């Protein structure tokens, strides 16, 4: 049985969710359901728990950084959390999200969803390592937030995010109960400041915010 939040619930829980945002999220959800019939973009239970387990989970990050202007989402998949964050900020002309996704079917879906919702986002259809090369070559403006959800262990995310982070950049992650072990591994190679908050969608989940990330051999 599907038990999940409704769009009305999200409007009550998140300051960033207006009636317009709800409409855009519903457009995104309907488009995902259509593409899922053909392309299998998400797991078999994802649509059943879409509003709670995926959309609401992603909106938590939008509330963590309401002032952010330049956001990079690593391993965006079908849009969680980066595209949902972009949809929540669609009325903000000074905000943009770069969605980095190497799976070309998922990247195509992300582009279609951006067009359908008017989200302030762009897609980089390639590996994160390739995006880093382009980012460094372009000398892009500083990044405010880098996000990721369920794509790699914490130590690997530190390695991938490090070249993209400036002095004020925050790495914000959605992590589960394995984070304690993941951090034990990461602390062997990385130094950082860490803030941990409980997830509102998963009793064993947490929102991890990392700042001042640096390799220990530096």
The full set of domain ranges for the chain reads 7-215
In this predicted structure, what is the pLDDT of residue 152?
94
* Dist CA 27 CA 7 (whole Å): 12
74 pLDDT tier (thresholds 50, 70, 90): very high
Q: Stretch 61-87: mean pLDDT, rounded?
A: 96
Inform me whether the pLDDT recorded for 218 exceeds 70: no
2 pLDDT tier (thresholds 50, 70, 90): very low
In this predicted structure, what is the pLDDT of residue 197?
96
More confident residue, 215 or 203: 215
Inform me whether the pLDDT recorded for 145 exceeds 60: yes
Mean pLDDT of all residues belonging to the chain: 92
Query: Among residues of the chain, what percentage have pLDDT more than 70?
Result: 96
Residue partners of 145: CB distance under 8 A and separation at least 6: 61, 65, 68, 70, 71, 72, 169, 170, 171, 172
Q: Stretch 117-140: mean pLDDT, rounded?
A: 93
Inform me whether the pLDDT recorded for 45 exceeds 90: no
The pTM score is: 0.94
In this predicted structure, what is the pLDDT of residue 13?
84
CATH code 3.20.20.70 for 7-215: no
Closest C-alpha among 122, 120, 105 to residue 24: 120
In this predicted structure, what is the pLDDT of residue 141?
75
Closest C-alpha among 64, 52, 103, 106 to residue 83: 106
Query: Among residues of the chain, what percentage have pLDDT more than 90?
Result: 78
Q: Stretch 162-190: mean pLDDT, rounded?
A: 95
Q: Stretch 158-169: mean pLDDT, rounded?
A: 96
Residue partners of 15: CB distance under 8 A and separation at least 6: 63, 66
Q: Show the tokens assigned to 12.
A: 């009550």
In this predicted structure, what is the pLDDT of residue 4?
60
Q: Tell me: the pLDDT tens digits for 21-42?
A: 999 999 999 999 999 999 989 9
Do 82 and 57 meet the contact criterion of CB atoms below 8 Å apart? Answer: no
């Amino acid at each position: 049985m599907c038990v999940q939040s409704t769009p009305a619930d999200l409007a009550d829980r998140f300051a960033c969710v207006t009636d317009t945002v709800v409409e855009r999220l519903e457009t995104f959800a309907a488009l995902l359901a259509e593409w899922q019939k053909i392309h299998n973009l998400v797991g078999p239970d994802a649509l059943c728990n879409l509003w709670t387990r995926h959309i609401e989970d992603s909106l938590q990050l939008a509330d963590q950084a309401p002032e952010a202007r330049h956001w990079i989402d690593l391993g965006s998949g079908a849009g969680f959390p980066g595209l949902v964050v972009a949809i929540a900020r669609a009325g903000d002309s000074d905000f943009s999200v770069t969605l980095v996704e190497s799976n070309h079917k998922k990247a195509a879906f992300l582009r279609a969803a951006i067009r359908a919702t008017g989200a302030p986002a762009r897609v980089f259809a390639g590996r994160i390592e390739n995006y880093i090369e382009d980012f460094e070559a372009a000398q892009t403006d500083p990044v405010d937030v880098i996000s990721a959800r369920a794509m790699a262990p914490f130590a690997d995310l530190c390695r991938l995010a490090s070249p993209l982070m400036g002095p004020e950049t925050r790495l914000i992650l959605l992590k589960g109960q394995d984070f304690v072990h993941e951090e034990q591994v990461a602390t062997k190679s990385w130094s950082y400041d860490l803030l941990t908050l409980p997830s509102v969608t998963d009793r064993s989940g947490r929102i991890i915010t990392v700042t001042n990330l640096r390799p220990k051999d530096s």
